Amino acid sequence: MISEEQLNFIRKNLVKYLMEDYLPFPVNKSVCYEWANGLNIKKGGETILYTGCAYQLAELGKKFDEILPSLSRFKGVERFSSFLKVFYKPKDERSNKILRNIAMILKKTQDFGYLYDEEPYSGTILLEMGMIEEFKEYAKKLVDFFSSHNVKKIITVDPHTHYTLFRIKEMISWNVEIVNYFEVLRGVKIRGEGTYVFHDSCLYSRFLGMRDIIRDIIKNSGIILKEDEMVTGKETSMCCGGPLAPVNKEISDKIAKSRAEALKSVNSKVLLACPFCYANLSPYVEAYDFAEVIKGE
């Protein structure tokens, strides 16, 4: 478990990076928008597809969970961060493929734009680390940003970003419609195959009320889901442990291993719909994101 000094260092730098660059980590921002290259999605508009950089940063976030505490011991961290912002461009073709697939399927039924290099991170990590006052400050910055771009409707692609935007609307007067891509998929014909056990995102299932919507869409695609009330039930399904990683990686990993073993007892292949669940569970089980196993018709 990290010390109070290390935790304060992480908090200070998260706020610094977010307020300066709309990103929680010092990376080249092309990491967030390169997935959209060549898809001919217009820039901006009243309706936007909003990734919040969640899929793109999920795996990278796990690495920063490991190295951020140790960085507090080194001098010259500011120069190192500036270097990373320019030159560090981690490649994650899997997340790019997922986002491209979501966008291409949604284009069949929904007109939307994308903010490309201007797209900001949602602020999820501040909320999940209990940094509520800092989150409110960043939320005001986000609301002003979207308002200045005349955004009226936001289509999200992951549970953490979706939940974060709803929390912002609870705190700040914000006249914007927020929908998740699963809600849009209810009007789209998609095709999938195979047999899986589904790992529910705690946010989708318990806090956003989307458990049944997601299962209906999965089953209607042709995918077979294996269920076990003690493993995949609404009240009995476990968290992947991911949100705990920034403050206690050891316990986070123990939770992930336990959850993976429970899922494997139901079926060898696991389906999920959250980049952070994938990052935490995939080292211990054969996992797939729903958006990488479906196709539009």
DSSP secondary structure of 158-204: SHHHHHHHHHHHHHS----EEEEHHHHHTTS-EEE-SEEEEPPPHII
Do 149 and 212 sit in the same domain of this protein? no
Of the chain, the percentage scoring pLDDT greater than 90 comes to 68
* Lookup: tokens for 273: 């719909």
Closest C-alpha among 214, 213, 160, 178 to residue 48:
178
Q: What is the pLDDT of residue 76?
A: 45
DSSP assignment string, 229-246: HHHHSTTTPPP-SGGGTT
Q: Looking at 183, 200, 234, which one is the last position of a domain?
A: 183
Q: CA-to-CA distance for 115 and 41, rounded, in angstroms?
A: 9
Q: What is the pLDDT of residue 245?
A: 79
Q: CA-to-CA distance for 86 and 227, rounded, in angstroms?
A: 46
pLDDT category at 179 given cuts 50, 70, 90 is very high
Residue range 181-206: average pLDDT? Answer: 94
Q: Mean pLDDT of all residues in the chain?
A: 88
* Lookup: tokens for 96: 């790019």
Is the pLDDT higher at 248 or at 51? Answer: 51
Do 226 and 157 sit in the same domain of this protein? no
Residue range 194-220: average pLDDT? Answer: 95
Is the pLDDT higher at 176 or at 69? Answer: 176
Is the pLDDT higher at 189 or at 10? Answer: 189
pLDDT surpassing 80 at residue 5 = no
Q: What is the pLDDT of residue 170?
A: 94
Do 11 and 132 sit in the same domain of this protein? yes
First to last CA, the chain: 48
Of the chain, the percentage scoring pLDDT greater than 70 comes to 87
> Structurally, how many domains does the chain consist of?
2
Do 165 and 231 sit in the same domain of this protein? no
CB atoms inside a 10 Å sphere around CB 225:
15
Domain CATH number, residue 207: 3.40.50
Do 170 and 80 sit in the same domain of this protein? yes
Q: What is the pLDDT of residue 69?
A: 53
Q: CA-to-CA distance for 209 and 217, rounded, in angstroms?
A: 14
Beta-carbon-side half-sphere exposure of residue 156 (alpha carbons within 13 Å): 24
pLDDT tens sequence across 23-42: 888 788 888 999 999 999 99
Q: What is the pLDDT of residue 104?
A: 95
Do 45 and 102 sit in the same domain of this protein? yes
At 234, the amino acid letter reads: K
Do 24 and 42 sit in the same domain of this protein? yes
- Which residues make beta-bridge pairs with 153? 47, 177
Residue range 157-164: average pLDDT? Answer: 97
Q: CA-to-CA distance for 128 and 164, rounded, in angstroms?
A: 9
When mean pLDDT is compared across 16-25, 262-271, 279-288, the lowest value belongs to 16-25
Closest C-alpha among 180, 163, 175 to residue 127:
163
Q: Looking at 183, 210, 231, which one is the last position of a domain?
A: 183
Q: What is the pLDDT of residue 112?
A: 97
pLDDT tens sequence across 88-101: 555 678 999 999 99
Which DSSP category does 282 fall into? T
Do 243 and 288 sit in the same domain of this protein? yes
At 47, give phi and psi (nearest 5°): -115, 125
Which DSSP category does 241 fall into? S
Structural domain span for residue 120: 4-183
* Lookup: tokens for 157: 């692609």
Q: What is the pLDDT of residue 255?
A: 96
pLDDT tens sequence across 86-138: 445 556 789 999 999 999 999 988 999 999 999 999 999 899 888 999 999 99
Do 69 and 168 sit in the same domain of this protein? yes
pLDDT tens sequence across 212-263: 999 999 999 999 999 999 999 988 999 999 888 777 888 999 999 999 999 9
pLDDT category at 205 given cuts 50, 70, 90 is very high
Do 265 and 211 sit in the same domain of this protein? yes
Do 199 and 272 sit in the same domain of this protein? yes
When mean pLDDT is compared across 75-89, 173-187, 188-202, 259-273, the lowest value belongs to 75-89
Do 9 and 48 sit in the same domain of this protein? yes
User: What region, left, alpha or beta, does residue 99 occupy, with left being phi > 0 and alpha being psi -120 to 50 degrees?
Assistant: alpha
- Residue pair 246/225 in contact by the 8 Å Cβ criterion: no
At 206, the amino acid letter reads: R
Q: What is the pLDDT of residue 59?
A: 78
Residues 6+ apart with CB under 8 A from 226: 195, 196, 197, 266, 267
Q: Looking at 183, 218, 244, which one is the last position of a domain?
A: 183
